[in-house]
Chain A
Amino acid sequence: MDNIIFIAIAALGGVGFVAAVILFFIAKKFKVYEDPNIDTVEEALPAANCGGCGFPGCRAFAEATVKSAKETKGLEGLNCPVGGNDTMQELGSILGLEVEASDPLIAVIRCNGTPTNHPAKAKYEGATSCAFAHALHGGEGGCQYSCLGLGDCEVACDFDALFMNSETGLPEVNNKCTACNACVIACPRDIIELRKRGPKDRRIFVSCVNAEKGGPAKKNCQTACIGCAKCEKVCKFDAITITSFLAYINFENCTLCRKCVEVCPTSAIWEVNFKLRKPKAEKPASVVERKASPTATEGKPIPLTVTIAAEQQPKTETKEENKDNKE
């Protein structure tokens, strides 16, 4: 009996030893060298795997970052929108590079087709998918550029930052937005755009993407951009351009002076998170009222809880610091 046990141990031990030796040499021969920095960089990333950087997951982004640092001594064109500046600075320190700060972005909804502004003329019955509805019909209210309100963007959002408002039928973005671009891709009508968050979260943008002539656009929606070019004329900073009857505010040039908001006859230009202006005597009261309402709706998610405000505080500070650095 003892003999059998001894033979078994010796045989298995022998096979194990031989296999170990073979594996040792094979592992040496076929070893793939991987930069240890890749692991460090990956750990520093937020691990959201959202694809917002343009790479399939955080690992691929880490590989691209290390490769770029090695080959070009810079991180040109690489940015993790979720982590923001903090993460990019950390990556810079890991790889021993100076990383230029970029402005944080946020998704904005460029449509204000609420049931009051853009009344429905027909009713859509079918699959709850914007992509399908877009291929099928021009929209319930007649504007073929308007938000379809079926929530493809809400499904695409991984960060609980975008919700459909059942009252307005439009999506709303809150401060959890990381500018990962998922909703922009999901929207079949290209309504969502990533814009600069702005100092103290203040932004001005044209909340309309209707490229029709003024008449037909206004017929369907009372807050449509009619391409009247009043804002283009009043803007001193060349921030506004008009292409095919649609104004676009370039956020790089915009100084948030709010002149365009005042002149817009259809209230298509939105100001977000500004303090309400004192109503001026010479302005008709109705104009002021109409302007006040969109600001309030968009402003809603921001003063949600104290925690968000506390989180928000350092971000704005860093941003201002960065601005100083640049100058």
Chain B
Amino acid sequence: MGILKTFALGGIHPKENKLSANAAIETLAIPKQAFIPMGQNLGAPSKPVVKRGDKVKTGQLLAEAGGFISTPIHSPVSGTIFKIDNILNSSGYKQPGIIINVEGDEWEESIDRTEEINSNIDYSSQEIIDKVKKSGLVGMGGATFPTYVKLMPPPGNTAEYLIINGVECEPYLTSDHRLMLEKGKEIIIGTQLLMKALKVTKAIIGIENNKPDAINHMTELVKGKEGISIMPLKVQYPQGGEKQLIKAAVNREVPSGKLPIAVGCVVQNVGTAFAIYEAVQKNKPLFERVVTVTGKAVKKPSNFLVRIGTPIKELIDAAEGLPENTGKIINGGPMMGKAINSTEIPIVKGSSGILLMENEESHRETESPCIRCSKCTYVCPMGLEPFLLSKVSKLGKFDIAEEEMIMDCIECGSCQYTCPANIPLLDYLRLGKNKTGAIIRSRGKTG
């Protein structure tokens, strides 16, 4: 294999802890009540098109897109609309959402429920994009950017490479890994569909070297498929970041403030590729996804195929309960995920894992003064100075933060992970990024 590729700047290698890597994907029972928040994508929240008391089938449209960067939402269950009210989202704030009382499981007739793998691609590029748009697909890696927007390069830009992200660099999470092992064929067809939609001839599936079984399996499957290649990558966090993956795979650097399409690349997650296969070939809108439930004290770390809107507590129950010494429940991976304060919070399109952290490992150490060791600068994959940025954000000097490119921060948390003084660098970086972003947007409005 020679020397494995990776991105150039910074990066860390936290303990992988992929406890659920050997747990096959199980289908989780449908919940009694489904909670579907309206803001499930990056951009504008969706607008409900159903009303209280309506009967809905699985796969029926619940809400339409609320703007250009927005997606429709489809019913993950069949039953009656109980309420359209404010429900908790993952940050503990209440957001408009739809609550459905589940009755049976009746699917829309248009959805192909057979197991057969349909590998004939007889749609044009535009048809594929339309289908993707209609089925409410978003990036399944966690950023939840509407997929169809990525498939339509802005004028003046052409895509050259399609990069499929099978990196899964977050410790603990294994949903993409299992998906590649179990739904490899579908992912390849999804990749071919994406290539056709984007009119590109080259596709690279990037997989980190800690998943040799997935690399072998996928290499086997792409034999004879023109243009698709598998690229094993050196294990390095945050390789799953779009910009890092492009650098690793095709050695191109996305300029500051630009999208990957500026260097002729489009990155999609393997989960998205699978969802595209289902949306286009099986007419199945996005209403279920694979979620990892894991943690050192969890009795049965598992990967579940879950309907959107299932409360997190059902997943924890299915993994044989909440361990006694749980300190934090994290929605997402340990590096970028957010601790949640209620298990009533539902699974949304972007949830990739639930991590139950033990009491001892979950707590933060006491902060001590910065010793100027520059470790944070060394590990920053974007070449920023995290300590400087966190300091200016803390002091409210957002003009300096902007000059020092705070908006390039990908919030990967490498700086905080490596800091020997336990300074909450990422907290202040996020605050600064939030405020600076608001200032930049307000500037655009006034002048």
Query: Residues on A close to B: CB < 8 A?
Result: 121-122, 125-127, 129, 131-132, 135-140, 142, 144, 212, 216
B394 and A137 form a contact (CB under 8 A)? no
Residues of B within 8 A of A (CB): 86, 88, 91-94, 338, 341-342, 363-364, 394, 424, 427-428, 430-431, 434-435
Q: Which A residues are in CB contact (< 8 Å) with B364?
A: 125-126
A315 to B: closest C-beta gap in Å: 33
B90 CB, nearest partner CB in chain A, Å = 10
Q: How far does the Cβ of B332 sit from chain A's closest Cβ, in whole Å? A: 13
A56 CB to closest chain B CB (Å) equals 15
By a CB distance below 8 angstroms, the chain A residues around B86 are 212, 216
- Chain B residues with CB under 8 Å of A216's CB are 86, 94
Taking a contact as CB atoms under 8 Å apart, the answer to whether A125 and B91 are in contact is no
| CB-defined A-B contacts under 8 Å, sample of 28 | A121-B342, A122-B92, A122-B341, A126-B364, A127-B394, A127-B424, A129-B428, A131-B431, A131-B435, A132-B427, A135-B430, A135-B434, A136-B91, A136-B338, A136-B427, A137-B92, A137-B93, A138-B91, A138-B92, A138-B93, A138-B341, A140-B341, A142-B92, A142-B341, A144-B92, A212-B86, A216-B86, A216-B94
On chain A, the residues within 8 Å of B431 by CB distance are 127, 129, 131-132, 135
B363 contacts A121, C-beta separation under 8 Å: no
Closest A residue by C-beta to B434 = A135
A132, A135, A142, A216, most chain B CB atoms within 10 A: A132
B2 CB, min distance to chain A CBs, angstroms: 43
CA distance A139 to B342 in the complex (A): 11
Q: How far is the CB of A327 from chain B (nearest CB, A)?
A: 44
Residues of chain B within 8 A (CB-CB) of A142 are: 92, 341-342
Specify which chain A residues have a CB less than 8 angstroms from the CB of B435 in the assembled complex.
131
- Check A127/B92 contact, CB under 8 A, given A135-B434, A136-B338, A138-B341: no
A139 contact set on B, CB distance < 8 A: 92
B363 and A125 form a contact (CB under 8 A):
yes
In the complex, what residues of A have CB within 8 A of residue B428's CB? 127, 129, 132
**Complex formed: what's the CA distance from A32 to B77 in Å?**
75
Cβ–Cβ < 8 Å partners of B424 in chain A = 126-127
The residues of B that contact A136 with a CB separation of less than 8 Å are: 91, 338, 427, 430
Residues in A with CB closer than 8 Å to B363 are 125
Smallest CB gap from A132: residue in B:
B431
Instruction: Kindly list 17 other residue pairs between chains A and B, CB separation below 8 angstroms, not including A121-B342, A122-B342, A135-B434.
Output: A121-B341, A122-B92, A126-B364, A127-B427, A131-B435, A135-B431, A137-B92, A137-B341, A138-B88, A138-B91, A139-B92, A140-B341, A142-B342, A144-B93, A144-B94, A212-B94, A216-B94
Task: Give the CA-CA distance A151 to B435 in the complex, in Å.
Answer: 18
A275 to B94, CA, bound (A): 40
Q: Which residue of B lies closest to A122 (CB)?
A: B341
**Alpha-carbon distance A232/B94, docked complex (angstroms):** 27
What residues on B are CB-neighbors of A140 within 8 Å? 341
Nearest-neighbour CB distance to chain A for B396, whole angstroms, equals 9
| 10 closest Cβ pairs, A-B complex | A138-B92, A122-B341, A127-B427, A132-B431, A137-B92, A127-B424, A138-B93, A125-B364, A126-B427, A144-B93
B92: nearest residue on chain A (CB-CB)? Answer: A138
CA distance A316 to B431 in the complex (A): 42
Residues of A within 8 A of B342 (CB): 121-122, 142
Contacts of B94 in A (CB 8 A): 138, 144, 212, 216
Tell me, in angstroms, the Cα distance from A126 to B427 when the chains sit together. 7
A127: B residues at CB distance < 8 A: 394, 424, 427-428, 431
Residue of B nearest to A144 (CB): B93
- How far does the alpha carbon of A132 sit from the alpha carbon of B411 in the complex, in Å? 14
A129 to B435, CA, bound (A): 13
Min CB distance B92 to A, Å, is 3
In the complex, residue of chain B having the shortest beta-carbon distance to the beta carbon of A131: B431
Considering the complex, give the chain A residue whose CB is closest to the CB of B94.
Answer: A144
Whether the Cβ atoms of A129 and B92 lie closer than 8 Å is no
How far apart are the CA atoms of A162 and B228 in the complex, in Å? 64
Give the residue name and chain of the A residue nearest to B428 (CB): A127
Listed residue (A137, A139, A212) with the most chain B CB atoms within 10 angstroms of its CB: A137
User: Which chain B positions have C-beta within 8 A of A137?
Assistant: 91-93, 338, 341
Q: Which residues in A have their C-beta under 8 angstroms from that of B341?
A: 121-122, 137-138, 140, 142
| Cβ contacts under 8 Å, A212 to chain B | 86, 94
Chain A's closest residue to B433 (CB) is A135
A212 to B94, CA, bound (A): 10
Q: How long is the Cα–Cα vector from A139 to B92 in the complex, in angstroms?
A: 7
Closest to A129 in B: B431
A201 to B324, CA, bound (A): 52
- Distance, CA A197 to CA B159, complexed state (A): 65
Complexed CA–CA distance, A132 and B338 (Å): 13
Distance between Cα atoms of A129 and B396 in the complex (Å): 12
B338 — which chain A residues lie within 8 A by C-beta? 136-137
B365 to chain A, nearest CB (A): 10
| B-chain residues with CB within 8 Å of residue A122 when the two chains form the complex | 92, 341-342
